[in-house]
Structure 1
Amino acid sequence: MASLGLIAMTPALAESDFATGNGAISADARVDFEINIPRFIRFQVGSAGATIDEVVFDVAAANVGDGSDVAATSNGTLAVSLLGNVGTISLDATTAAALTDGTDSISWSEILTSSSDAALDVPAIVDAGTGAAESVTANVGTRVVNRTADWTFGYDNSNVVAAGTYTGRVTFTASNP
Structure 2
Amino acid sequence: MPRAAPSRTLRTAAGAGLLLLGLAEMAAAHAWSLSVSSGSRRLFLHVGNGSVSNANGNFNGATGTNGAINLVQVTVPAAQLGNGTDLAMTSNSTQSTSLYGDGNNTCPTPSSQVMVGAGYRRNGGSASATLGVTSPANLTSAAGDTIPFTEISWTVSAPGSGVPNVIPAGTFSGATQTLATVPGNTYIENCHTFSYANNAVRAAGTYNGRVTYTLSAP
* CA deviation vs aligned residue, 1:25-69 (integer Å, no higher than 9, x gap): xxxxxxxxxxx9321110000011322001011111100100111
Give the length in aligned residue pairs. 136
Query: Do residues 65 (structure 1) and 82 (structure 2) align?
Result: yes
Native 8 Å contact 2:140 2:209 kept in 1: yes
Asked if 1:80 corresponds to 2:116, the answer is yes
User: Pairwise CA RMSD of aligned residues?
Assistant: 2.1
- CA separation of 1:80 and 1:68: change in aligned 2, threshold 3 A: same
Partners of 1:148 and 1:95 lie apart in 2 by 20
1:52 corresponds to 2:52: no
The corresponding residue for 1:175 is 216
Q: Deviations over 1:148-177 (max 9, x none)?
A: 200111111111111110000000111111
Equivalents in 2 of 1:88, 1:171: separation in Å? 20
Higher relative contact order, chain-length normalized (CA < 8 Å, sep 6+):
2
Structure with more strand by fraction? 2
SS of alignment partner, residue 166 of structure 2: helix
Whole-Å Cα distance in 2 between the matches of residues 120 and 89 of structure 1? 13
Contact 1:91 1:134 in 2 (8 A): yes
TM-score (norm 2): 0.57
**Structure-2 separation of matches of 1:124 and 1:112:** 4
2:190 and 2:136 map into 1 onto residues whose CA distance is 26
Q: Does the alignment pair 1:120 with 2:156?
A: no
Aligned counterparts of 2:170 and 2:86: Cα–Cα separation in 1: 20
* Contact 2:182/2:188, CA 8 A, preserved across alignment: no
The counterpart of 1:43, out of the listed 39, 42, 45, is 45
Moved over 4 A (4+): none
Larger Rg: 1
Say if 1:100 and 1:166, in contact at 8 Å, map to a contact too.
yes
Gaps of 5+ in 1: 1-35
Matches of 2:118 and 2:40 in 1, distance apart? 16
Q: Is the 8 A contact 1:70 1:155 kept in 2?
A: yes
**Residue 90 (structure 1) aligned with residue 92 (structure 2):** no
Q: Secondary structure at the match of 2:91?
A: coil
1:120 maps to a residue whose letter is I
Give structure 2 stretches of 5+ with no counterpart. Answer: 1-37, 51-65, 93-111, 158-163
The CA distance in 1 between the partners of 2:113 and 2:133, in whole Å, is 17
CA–CA distance in structure 2, aligned partners of residues 163 and 62 of structure 1: 13
Deviation at 1:74, TM superposition (A): 3.1
